Amino acid sequence: MAKAQNKTKQGLSASIKEEVEIIEGPLKEPRKFSIAWIIQAALISLVILLIASGYSILNAIGNDPLKARSLPYELEANRGVSYVVHDLLDDKYPPFIISLWVQLNADDYRGIQRGFYVIDGKISIKDLLDKMKRGEVYVEDPQTLPIAEGMQFELILKRMMARGDLQNDLIVLKDVPAFIQKTLESKELIEAIGGVHDSLEGLLLPATYPYYKDNTASDIIAYALKDMAQYMLTSWPSKDDGLELKDPYEALILASLVERESAIAEEMPQIASVFYNRLKKGMRLQTDPAVMYGVSPLFRGPLRASQLKKDTPYNTYTRAGLPPTPIAMPSKNAIDAVLHPANSKAIFFVAKSHDPKDGHVFSDTLDEHNRSVAVYKKRVREYLKETKNSK
């Protein structure tokens, strides 16, 4: 009986122990992290950090102000977004980051336009590319070349060659007829200057012509030639009736004589009238500027008696009619004077004094002219005497 009770107690203790073990379960050991897991977590964190940093850099590339430049930035032809961004930012950001930015943004800036652009220290690369896409170029202040009234073509070329900032391509002028045809293009404009000629003397309209970095010497000559053709295109058809002119070229020849005789616009129609009156009477023009041109286009005198007697195609003392070409670049005033001369009978004129600003005296007869010449000589003598005494 006692043994049975002990067995029962032992069985009950074993049962209770099993139930307790079932309820509490086995004791767990602390979790251990593997080295591989730690490395993986670190790499993920690094990638996240790099992505965040890269995004920050990409944002900075597009929006940070560019370093100010003292001169406008030039975008040349056939240069795209990649070139501009690398050119301006390579010293500030890693090239591979710049290339990534370009890949992400290039489509937004297709068709950027060549030209000069201002970088003022406030504009970003995005702002700059937007301007380039819209073509908001900086317009530089041009250099200028004046072609003065009465200037000869040889002097114009000489002054062009003295410009260090003007490209010399004057070799194209070796064939002047071809240059005229190429420049004017249309038959209408070529006829406006009386056809194609072997010389450009008298065919360039006096004005101050602007030019830029890419311009050449022949560009300026072409502009002036076109301006003259355009002016003659509208002016020649409105000329007065009965003029002793065969074509627009003869008008330019006569206008160049008028230009060289006087710089006073108000008396140019009177000088033109004198020349017309002499041509009608079969008289020689006897104009010194033409004789001087025959000696040399840049000859400034005074003329000697031997030079007045020496026959050249431009000596209007030895030959009748007009010279073969203009002798200088006539102004609009001189051209207008020839196309609309004064109504007078004068066939002579002489300077009033030593000063060209005083103008001329016009005479209908030789006797009147001789008296005017005497007055002129007296005034010159007095001027020279006063000048000598004042020293």
Looking at residue 65, the DSSP 8-state letter turns out to be: B
Q: How many helices (H) and strands (E) does the chain have?
A: 15, 6
pLDDT at position 41 over 90 = no
The Cα–Cα gap between 108 and 85 comes to 13
The one-letter amino acid code at 277 reads: N
For residue range 86-108, list pLDDT tens digits in order: 999 877 788 888 888 889 888 88
For residue 21, the tally of other CB atoms under 10 A from its CB is 10
The Cα–Cα gap between 342 and 271 comes to 8
Q: At what angle do helices 35-63 and 125-134 cross, to 10 degrees?
A: 50
Confidence of residue 164 (pLDDT cuts 50, 70, 90): confident
Q: At what angle do helices 176-184 and 217-235 cross, to 10 degrees?
A: 70
Residues ≥6 apart with Cβ < 8 Å to 223? 209
This prediction's pTM: 0.70
**What's residue 40's pLDDT?**
75
Comparison of pLDDT for 244 and 251, the residue scoring more? 251
Confidence of residue 254 (pLDDT cuts 50, 70, 90): very high
**What's residue 142's pLDDT?**
84
The Cα–Cα gap between 31 and 40 comes to 18
**What's residue 376's pLDDT?**
94
Name the 3-class secondary structure at 196: coil
Percent with pLDDT over 90 in the chain: 62
The Cα–Cα gap between 308 and 287 comes to 10
Confidence of residue 152 (pLDDT cuts 50, 70, 90): very high
**What's residue 23's pLDDT?**
45
Assigned token pair, 197: 């000629």
DSSP element (H, E) containing 116: strand 115-117
For residue 48, the tally of other CB atoms under 10 A from its CB is 10
For residue range 185-220, list pLDDT tens digits in order: 899 999 999 999 999 999 999 999 998 877 899 999
The one-letter amino acid code at 91 reads: D
Question: For the chain, what is the radius of gyration of the CA atoms?
Answer: 45
**What's residue 333's pLDDT?**
98
Burial class (CB in 10 A: 0-12, 13-18, 19+), 98: buried
For residue range 297-313, list pLDDT tens digits in order: 999 878 999 999 999 99
Instruction: Answer whether 344's CB lies under 8 Å from 318's CB.
Output: no
CA dihedral angle for residue 213, residue 217, residue 222, residue 225, rounded to 10 degrees: 130
Assigned token pair, 265: 């616009």
Determine if residue 145 is left, alpha or beta; phi over 0 gives left, psi from -120 to 50 gives alpha, anything else beta: beta
DSSP element (H, E) containing 339: helix 332-339
**What's residue 89's pLDDT?**
87
Residues ≥6 apart with Cβ < 8 Å to 160? 145, 166, 168, 170, 217, 220
pLDDT at position 113 over 50 = yes
The Cα–Cα gap between 160 and 84 comes to 35
The Cα–Cα gap between 130 and 108 comes to 9
Name the 3-class secondary structure at 349: strand
Peptide bond into 206 cis (omega under 30): no
The Cα–Cα gap between 89 and 80 comes to 14
For residue range 12-25, list pLDDT tens digits in order: 455 545 554 544 54
Instruction: Answer whether 59's CB lies under 8 Å from 126's CB.
Output: no
The Cα–Cα gap between 226 and 205 comes to 8
For residue range 358-391, list pLDDT tens digits in order: 999 999 999 999 999 999 999 999 998 888 887 6
**What's residue 138's pLDDT?**
84
